[in-house]
Structures are given as structure tokens and as C-alpha cells.
Amino acid sequence: MFPIIYSDRFLDHDTGSFHPERPARLTAIVNALKAASFAHQLTWHYPTPLTERNVLPWVLQVHTPDYLEEVQAIARRRGGGILDPDTPVSQGSYDIALLAVSGWLDGVDQVLANNRPAFVAARPPGHHAEPQRGMGFCLFSNAAIAAHYALEQPDIQRVAIFDWDVHHGNGTQCATETDPQMAYCSLHQSPFYPGTGQAYERGMYKNVLNIPLRAGSTVREYESVIKGQVIPFLQHFQPDLILVSAGYDANADDPLAGMKLYPEDYGQFTRLLLPLTPRLLFGLEGGYDLDSLGQSVVETVSACLSLG
């Protein structure tokens, strides 16, 4: 069985009319998974409620108290606002973003307990959120927070984050590049938003691998760098757990980028990762064409189920 961590509450993060990071993204994923031939092999898990798990100490491993106070104030006291022109906050967004963190932590628990992959279908996304600011649709740095949490679990000494979103995860890199127990690897379109992620950025412990790719790159270019650079980088680091910042906005149909991938390509990327470790947690980042988003998640999960 394959765990999906999801809650309808994630739909209540209201980004307003016409915003690309919208609730329909999760609806498309859920509908695609429930229509898949392997739907009977999925188990659906509600994130641990905030009343049962205090996620704030984990969030504060990455973000400053002042930043948390800012997000909370915009949401609860002002009833909504913006962190930057791309990143709206609605009345419920603070609590929903914390619930998304809880979902990622649950995903870590699932993977470590079962020694098998899992998928977190949560929003808002997180890889652009820096310690002192949210940006790029992101409120809290979910993957980096989950990495800190994982390192406190028994027998976990090293955690790697592989980010295949079309944008560089500036927030994730910022939260990991000075920690020798973490590694960060990103494939991203360049030049492109947010303008970070140059190849020469290697981290304090040579624990960062950025691979900028030109617009129009296809599965051929992606597979070449995954096999030639990403896999050797991860093998050298020897992570006990790999977190995948699973953005699907490098699809050819995506309206916000210029890459030429297709849903089945993400299944292939997943199959390339599986020999490294069965301890793989996939968590949603970007992806804004609803059909290709839903089918890409289906392909990712299908590849994991091929483990048997």
C-alpha cells in the first residue's frame, strides 16, 4: 500500500481569483489518483492535527520568530494580505501552512516506519520560503523543516533533498547549505525566477549541487544530468532519507515555465531514484497545468508501486 497524506483543509488556503497556485491543483491530483488503476493500493492519511502536534519548534528550526509573527498577523489579525506580490495570505493561511508542515512530518514518519515511499499532497508549497520571508507562492519551507525533523529520528544521520521543480528552491538551499548533515540538489530552468541556483554555489560542505538547465530542455537533458551528476552526488552523500521537492511545472503544458517534460518523465525520474533508497518522501511544490499535474503525480506514485 502507498500512503498519500492529504486534507481538504489545504483547499482553504485562498490565493484569490486567477492565481496559478490554486486549490484546483490538489483537486486535480486527488481525482487523478482516485481514477488510477492502482487506486485500491493507496491509503489516505489526514495530517496530524495541530492540536495533537506542536509543529512550531520544527518551523523555528528554519524560520525566524519575527517571520512567523508576520505571517500570523497578516492572516489572523488583518484577515489576509500579501507577503510579496506573488504570495497572498488569506485568513486561514497561517494555520493551513502549519498543517502542511505537519503533513510533511507525517510523511517522514510513514517512510521511516514502512521503509517505503510516500507522497504529501499539501499546499501552500514551500521551497522559495526563506528564513525571514515568504515569496514565490511559499509560506514555510516544508522540505527543509521536514529534513530537520528527520534528523532527530533514530538512525537518521544524513538527509538529502532533491528538487526537480522548474524553479530553484532558494529557501531550501538557504536552510540546508550550512548543515553537513543535509544535502540539497536542484534541477531548474535558468535564467529564470528567482534568479538563484548558480552551478558554482556548492554549500559550506560541498553539500549543494545546482544544475541550471536551458529553457526547452527535454527528458534527454534531464536524464543525462540525473544519471551523470545527481545520482553520483547522492551516492557520495549516502543519505538515510531522500526528500523530493516534487514540482511538476517543467511539464511542456505548464503556463509558467518553458521546459519540455511530460508526465511519464517523472515516473522515469522516480525509477532512477529508487535504487538509491526506498526511503523516499515526495512532497508537492509547483505544477500549474491541472491535467499534466495530476497525471505526473500518478506516474510518480505508479513508479513507486513498482517496488512490489
Q: What angle do CA 254, 34, 20 make, to 5 degrees?
A: 25
Would you call the peptide bond into 124 cis, given omega within 30 degrees of 0 as the criterion? yes
Are 124 and 142 in contact by the 8 Å Cβ rule? The answer is no
Q: Which residue has the cell 503533513?
A: 103
> Choosing from 45, 127, 128, 167, which is the catalytic residue?
128
Other beta carbons within 10 angstroms of residue 188's beta carbon come to 25
Return the closest-CA partner of residue 281 out of 161, 164, 199, 167.
161
Coil vs helix vs strand at 82: strand
Residues 6+ apart with CB under 8 A from 82: 74, 88, 89
The sign of the torsion formed by the CA atoms of 47, 94, 132, 250 equals positive
128 as an active site residue: the answer is: yes
Nearest to 168 by CA among 132, 204, 130: 130
Residue 290: exposed, middle, or buried by beta-carbon count in 10 A (0-12, 13-18, 19+)?
A: middle
* Phi, psi angle pair for 168, to nearest 5°: -70, 135
- The rounded distance, in Å, linking the Cα atoms of 90 and 138 is 13
Active site residues: 128
